Structure 1
């Protein structure tokens, strides 16, 4: 068993997403979906302008099928996510209609419930990310919602390639590379690597237009390199995403559950 806590100490949304998804090991009125619009003649400045702010939303919820593959075995689960902007992130994971766990993330804490093991995990956001928890929480919310990280025009390097625009940026001390499609202006992928040899590549696709103005990727693929010997891929395919439809949030740790000092994966 490998120690997850060490692997996710990097200040990134991927680390926390990895933590939340791993608890899965051990429905509402639907918004009408439309194909995302193509932007003709997209240039660097329009992408930067679009990415200097995030869409205005208060609630986001979704359901996705997730395939987790560590190179030896794979598992399929259903993931449910609800985000109340600047307040909380709630996630639940089911396999064959049986709930394996739940997670709740606030600006300062992360909680995870493992149903089958009758245990739970609790940690501060600062402990997990080793950075300002409030800033990291906003970053995590927007990326889980499917929005690109907010760009700082004074802290990026741009390379204009034939079919894509590549932007390098520093996020919480980790250099990330984002790739945007020239034809549509949409974020299609990226990668990063930290000093602990933890790296991640990701791809976005199947963008849908919600609330007539917000473009969200319904397909997301992550390839994580945890060490020289350990790697993992996460494939998320959303069947439903809603914007600004308030949802109930239920999260309660049973009194008889045992607290874990760390989470681990096979």
Structure 2
């Protein structure tokens, strides 16, 4: 039976990791166009003759239209998925049950061979995680979790990536047309983000690059199906290229396939119990 290691636990509970950084944006100064007129004095006359340079016809700049992704709208979500975790050294498969209350709570239960191995709950400001097999309990802020992970994460980003919504909302994204897709290019300080938006206005691919560290994340959404008139990606694949403490690139592949997804209006339960002996530590 695959073993849920300490480091992998937090990664698996989080499932989706994203770079985020704050930095000042450097504006591009405006450039004024100046028309130049050449003045020539003719040899045999005192008359001034003005010769204007030929003016090339300037093609109007056609701006790409503003592109907005079609976000999944919901009150509650209940889902079941299979997660394949693969590195260069090993691969494990888990069953992950997810429950979510929009903008409030994310609950996950991780099982191996029908045996619950860990349960985690994410609120707006904290992450609680109980590893039943190893008898370990974690109660972390997002700042402390980000330190452990090596990436800055928060609740809003996690929720967006789980349901396939665009994680960063900006009206000033640079838009590029690529065949049938649009690419929304964004800068978050030292982080560069490419959002690939398909004809269905859903996010189909996310590329994230941290310039200084060269850490990279690629997230592909596939197998879109309609649920309650909304499109949901039933398959996704995360590829992480992250440097370890020895500056070596470690590649991790996480494949997620949902077998069942429900968008609900009725409230869900989020069972999370931790033995008192762990709470008193």
Per-residue CA distance 1:90-149 (angstroms, 9 max, x = gap)? 00100100011011111110111111101111210133348xxxx932232122122233
Match of 1:251 among 246, 249, 272: 272
Higher Cα radius of gyration: 2
Q: Deviations over 1:198-221 (max 9, x none)?
A: 311111110011112x11100000
Please state how far the C-alpha of 1:187 moved relative to its aligned partner: 2.0
Alignment partners' CA distance in 2, 1:106 and 1:147: 19
Partner SS, residue 154 of structure 2: helix
Alignment of 1:1-266 (within 5 A): 18=12, 20-21=14-15, 45=65, 48-51=67-70, 54-129=71-146, 136-154=154-172, 156-171=173-188, 174-181=191-198, 183-194=199-210, 195-212=212-229, 214-227=230-243, 228-244=248-264, 245-257=266-278
Q: Tell me, which stretches of 5 or more residues in structure 2 are unaligned? A: 17-63, 148-152
TM-score by length of 2: 0.69
Distance 1:19 1:225 in 2: 19
- The verdict on how the C-alpha distance between 1:168 and 1:258 changes in structure 2, with shifts beyond 3 A counting, is same
The 1:21/1:114 distance shift into structure 2, 3 A limit, reads: farther
Higher helix share: 1
Q: Give the Cα–Cα distance (whole angstroms) in 1 for the partners of residues 116 and 7 of structure 2.
A: 21
TM-score normalised per structure 1: 0.72
Indicate if the aligned counterparts of 1:221 and 1:235 stay in contact, CA closer than 8 A: yes
The root-mean-square deviation of aligned C-alpha atoms, in Å, is 3.0
Unpaired runs of 5+ residues, structure 1, are 6-15, 23-43, 261-266
Q: Tell me how many residue pairs correspond in the alignment.
A: 219
- 163-172 or 227-236, larger mean C-alpha shift: 163-172
